[in-house]
Amino acid sequence: AGVLEDGLCGFRWCWIPNWLPSWCPTSQKDLQAAETRMLRCVSCSFTKHFIPVSNGCQLWTLACGGAGSRGKTPLVLLHGFGGGVGLWVQNLDALSRGRPVFAVDLLGFGQSSRPHFSKDPRRAEDQFVEAVEQWRAKVGLESMILLGHNLGGYLAVSYSIRHPGRVKHVILVEPWGFPERPDSSEADRPVPVWIKALGAVFSPFNPLAGLRLVGPLGPSLVQTFRPDLRRKFTSMFTDNTVSEYIYHLNVQTPSGEAAFKSMRGEYGWAKRPMLQRIHRLRPDVPLTVVYGSRSSIDCDAGGALKELRPYSHVEIMTIRGAGHYVFADQPEDFNQRVSQVCETVD
């Protein structure tokens, strides 16, 4: 049965990509255009470049910050699962007033290259992290403040464990992948049959496969089921700019998405929880953890970080009125708090 299942999985993914481009109303040019529309409200001067890393891959990078920011430690923004540089549109102006800011599309996401990732969770993580290190070397940053949201937070700590001399401060925004999957009786409660059935059906597929499979219905599906994403940016857009950008981000060739699938276990728990190896992070690397007061993400990981690093700087911030997308839900408060943290570095 296992061989048959593997064969079927291979069959699915060898033919689906061949017809998806014509089935899904998207292309690389559509993604570029959608991102350009997102960034039209950014007032600061910025540049956009592909930065080459290994194996012919490139990381799409947005850089902003004027002459007045020279000499300050750069802030590097790593988006979460399914994100891209355009989602920082409400933060770039404020954060770049005092220092250079770089927003990067992670390997396998956004406009960055979408290579084949290992199915081994450790090796997939290594690919993400080493791409960031190669990017840093190419850009020429001696050190940086590393801010990561969701998956980006997980990778920010993984990077800092391996390259602590390059990181002056780590800011984790609603990070994914820190706690271990509970072994308590609560975690062992019977799972409804319908949930098990759905899990069995969708487990061979990447997390966003459903969005691709509906083809031309995808853009309206994003608008219908995630109207909150549009509301987060109402101060800048009154049309479908945001939902169109998110759609085009997430129906390209699954690459980073496939890596994330390899790195997460059942019910979304990380196969390699970060709390299990946080002791490997050098004690002199300070951490700030930012949560939204209305988020469904369990904030216990922040408290666990403080307990596991008793002799290190660990600060936990909660931003009122914000959900998981803290930087978009309450951008003014978020920008102020992050700017204050960055000032302590310099």
Q: pLDDT grade, residue 11 (50/70/90)?
A: very low
Q: Is the pLDDT of residue 99 over 70?
A: yes
What share of the chain has pLDDT > 70, as a percent? 86
- CA 41 – CA 61 distance, rounded (Å): 18
Nearest-CA neighbor of 89 among 43, 50, 153, 152? 43
DSSP character for 270?
Answer: B
CATH class of 28-179+193-344: alpha beta
Strands (E) located in the chain: 46-52, 58-64, 75-78, 101-104, 144-149, 167-173, 287-292, 314-319
DSSP string, 201-246: HHTTS-TTHHHHHTGGGHHHHHHHH-HHHHHTTTTT-SSSHHHHHH
The residue-averaged pLDDT of 202-230 equals 72
Under a CB-based contact definition with an 8 Å cutoff, are residues 168 and 144 in contact? yes
Q: What pLDDT does residue 7 have? A: 31
Q: Are strands 287-292 and 144-149 parallel, antiparallel or unpaired?
A: unpaired
What share of the chain has pLDDT > 90, as a percent? 70
pTM score, whole prediction:
0.88
Q: pLDDT grade, residue 18 (50/70/90)?
A: very low
The segment with the largest mean pLDDT, out of 3-12, 176-185, 319-328, is 319-328
Q: What pLDDT does residue 190 have? A: 59
pLDDT tens digits for range 19-56: 444 567 889 999 999 999 999 999 999 999 999 999 99
